[in-house]
Amino acid sequence: MSDLNTAMIEKYRSSFLKEVEANVEEGEWVKMCMQCGVCSGSCPLGKHWDHPPQELFMMIRANKRDEVLGTDSMWMCTSCYNCIARCPRGLPITHIMHGLAVYSKRLGLVQKKQPTAEFSQIFWDNLMKKGRVNELKLGLSMYFKDGFGQGIKNAMANQKLGQNMMKAKRMNAMEFFGGHSVKDLSGFQKMVKKAQEIEEGNLKDAK
């Protein structure tokens, strides 16, 4: 268990709701949920959520910290915004789901090999390198995330797709050797670093 997680348990012993309000993106909205269930009926991948949004909000208020931070339900969010468009109370549900997912990740509680958690990090790392996403490397790192053997298997399974995309000039093998980039890369990276420092600082202060 990470130190940060231990510290947070210590600090918010009596109220997981307060912990969420203080540390999760848009977490201060959770208490506004009136449990109508509209959001839960709106998730496109609904049947794959162990706990759909409305249930997660209930569990937060019932202090079910381990269950909430330990589930991979939030990673089933496709960012479709159905819920936000429909919630009668105007909760920014999509962002709360993202926020819960990120918080559980920062505390080291994400299930190993959760594919969307991995993809999301690979995506971010990829874009940090050049300021723009390199789709070819993004695809390759995703295929090879579970090691070389599995990577070859994944790549072979999608070989035809790749060839189709190259034929349509919508994938470029040369991207592997560089690819698109922002010009002021150092300024870009300094900016993101600073933003990360501020955000991590806020989390530490909460400790």
Partner 1 sequence: MAKIELSFYPGCSSQKGATSSNYLVSAQTMCEELDIQLNEIPDWNCCGASIGYGGGGELPRLALSARNIALSEEHNSGQEIVATCAACWLSTREAKERLHEDEQMFKDANAALSEAGLKYQGEANVRHMVEVLVEDIGFDGIKSKVKKPLEGLKIAGYVGCQTNRPFGIAGESFENPKYLDNIVEAVGADSIPTYEKKVQCCGGALAFSEPEKSQEMIKGIIEAAYDNGADMIVTPCPLCQANVEIYQDNINETYGTKFNMPVVYYSTLMSVAFGRSAKDAALDGQVIPAKKLEEIASK
Binding status of residue 199 toward partner 1 by CB under 8 A: yes
Q: How far apart are CA 175 and CA 49, in angstroms?
A: 36
User: What residue 89 binds from partner 1, ligand SF4, none (CB within 5 to 8 A, per partner kind)?
Assistant: ligand SF4
Nearest one of 189, 197, 193 to 132, comparing CA atoms: 189
Among 71, 73, 94, 104, binds ligand SF4 (CB under 6 A): 94
Nearest one of 38, 28, 21, 100 to 67, comparing CA atoms: 100
Binding status of residue 156 toward partner 1 by CB under 8 A: no
The interface mask with partner 1, positions 31-50, x = CB under 8 A, is -------------xx--x--
| Contact yes or no for 100/20 (Cβ under 8 A) | yes
User: What residue 184 binds from ligand SF4, partner 1, none (CB within 5 to 8 A, per partner kind)?
Assistant: partner 1
Binding status of residue 5 toward partner 1 by CB under 8 A: no
Among 56, 68, 69, 77, binds ligand SF4 (CB under 6 A): 77
Structure-token pair, residue 10? 């210590």
**Which SS3 state, helix, strand or coil, does residue 41 take?**
coil
Number of H helices, E strands in the chain: 11, 0
Nearest one of 34, 53, 35, 33 to 43, comparing CA atoms: 53
The residues of the shown chain that bind partner 1, judged by CB under 8 A, are 25, 44-45, 48, 75-76, 78-82, 84-86, 94, 98-99, 101-102, 105-106, 115-125, 127, 131-133, 135, 139, 142, 158, 160-161, 164-165, 167-172, 174-175, 180, 182-184, 187-188, 190-196, 198-199
